Structure 1
Amino acid sequence: MALLPSLLTALVVISYGPGGALGCDLPHSHILVSRKNFVLLGQMRRISSTVCLKDRKDFRFPQDMADGRQFPEAQAASVLHEMLQQIFSLFHTERSSAAWNTTLLDELCTGLLRQLEDLDTCLEQEMGEEESALGTVRPTLALKRYFRGIHLYLKEKKYSDCAWEIVRMEIMRSFSSSANLQERLGMKDGDLESP
């Protein structure tokens, strides 16, 4: 439970919020959806991670990308959008519905989709299509490689319950690893309230 504040903080990074660095105002409900998505990820746990120790893997989250210093804020927003899109794609598959409580999974996917729609609107306001496409190639490729590794791991492990639990924990860790990017975008830990 000690991870809750830092992971929640990192999840809200993805959603920004009032006072964030993007030039558009996301609705307050966007922050609430982010918090709910984090809680849902926690509730999705079905088995103890200690049972799955033999299945652990280092997926090599691209830490330099999470720092965000190497690209402008609008491009950082694109990277976060890509991260959300990849998480949505991961959990919005037939195989994932067999692994998780479908009610929780549906709520998570609906929340992620809602966040993506909000970010789409902001990104359209922040940069033109050409700038968006050219400026985020390298960081989004790193994210795509990272998520491709997760997909290959699941396939190799035959989508076992332990494999899905390891992936669920990895997704939560990747949110936490995005804390530096959060600061880069102007949202500070003190800006958040507990859910």
Structure 2
Amino acid sequence: MSTMRLLHICLILLFSTEISSQHCDLLSFQQKKLNKDSLELLEKMGGNFPFQCFNEGIDFKSMQDVLKRQSSQKENVKLAIQNILQEIFTVFSKNLTQTAWDTISIITFQNKLHQQIERLEACLGFQKEKDGTKMGSDGLVLTKLKVRRYFQGIYNFLEEKQYSLCAWEIIRMEMTRCFLFVDQLTKSL
């Protein structure tokens, strides 16, 4: 009887591994779809860029410049995407009271980001188990550090501008650029 249970558990694990593998094989397609949805939600949540904010621009270094020497290994690209999405999620979890943005769009946007992050984490974990690799190489740590430093500039900008409507609108446009870069990274998966 216990042998049957053990066999049953082994079969479940075997099939769940296969399902996880297939889920990760579709990651690029799913990521493209979720990126597109996120871009549409970013546009929808704020509408047109307010005229009074045109004079308050700041030129952030593009994410592409920040990660210009990004390795082409798929795990590195996945980790870079995951870090960028996690930081975007954190940005949109900050003080949004002065934005006057559509609350439903913000919540939907946050949920989509959370979905993307979870899928990437699952695939990174699955890949790590499958290959027996350690996800702590110098390149991966450097990528995470560069992404964090880039977003620290965004947090500093929001704080300096006291989370004003114009500051948020500028950040919303900057996050659009980040999603376009994530889309480029996704194409390399």
TM-score range relative to shorter protein: 0.7 to 0.9
Question: What secondary structure sits across from 1:146 in the alignment?
Answer: helix
Q: Deviations over 1:108-156 (max 9, x none)?
A: 0011001111111111122259622224111111110110000000000
Cα RMSD after superposing both structures: 2.7
Q: CA separation in 1, counterparts of 2:107 and 2:66?
A: 29
- Alignment check: 8 A CA contact 1:67 1:181 kept: no
Q: Counterpart of 1:175?
A: 179
C-alpha distance 29-80 of structure 1, shift in aligned 2 (>3 A) = closer
Pick closer, same or farther for the CA change 1:68–1:44 going to 2, 3 Å: farther
Give aligned-pair identity as a percent.
29
Q: Within 1, Cα distance between the matches of 2:103 and 2:117?
A: 21
Q: Which amino acid aligns with 2:35?
A: S
User: Once structures 1 and 2 are overlaid, which stretch shifts more, 42-51 or 25-34?
Assistant: 25-34
Question: CA 1:46/1:162 → structure 2, altered by over 3 Å: closer, same or farther?
Answer: farther
Q: TM-score, normalized by length of structure 2?
A: 0.74
Cα distance in structure 1, aligned partners of 2:70 and 2:158: 32
Rg: which structure is higher?
2
1:141 and 1:69 map into 2 onto residues whose CA distance is 12
The structure richer in helix per residue is: 2
Q: What pairs with 1:44-59 in structure 2 (closer than 5 Å)?
A: 44-46=45-47, 48-59=49-60
How far residue 25 of structure 1 moved from its aligned partner, in angstroms, is 3.2
Query: What CA distance in whole angstroms lies between the structure 2 residues aligned with 1:72 and 1:98?
Result: 41
Structure 2: which amino acid aligns with 1:77?
K
Unaligned 5+ segments in structure 2 are: 1-22
Indicate the residue corresponding to 1:75 in structure 2: 76
Q: How does 1:35-46 map to 2 (within 5 A)?
A: 35-46=36-47
Q: Which residue of 1 aligns with 2:145?
A: 141
Tell me the secondary structure at the aligned position of residue 133 of structure 1: coil
1:25-79 per-residue CA deviation (whole Å, 9 max, x = no partner) reads 3497665433322211011225534421221111212424545653521111101
Contact preservation (8 Å) 1:66, 1:178:
no
Aligned length: 163
- Native 8 Å contact 1:97 1:105 kept in 2: no
Distance 1:76 1:144 in 2: 15
- Residue 7 of structure 2 corresponds to none
In the alignment, the residues of structure 2 paired with residue 149 and residue 103 of structure 1 have an alpha-carbon distance, to the nearest angstrom, of 27
Runs of 5+ unmatched residues, structure 1: 1-21, 186-195
Return the TM-score normalized by structure 1: 0.72
More displaced 10-residue stretch of structure 1: 127-136 or 76-85: 127-136
Distance in 2, matches of 1:137 and 1:127, equals 16
**Residue 114 of structure 2 corresponds to which residue in structure 1?**
113
1:79-98 equivalences in 2 (<5 Å): 79-93=80-94, 95-98=95-98
Cα pair 1:62 1:142 within 8 Å, conserved: no
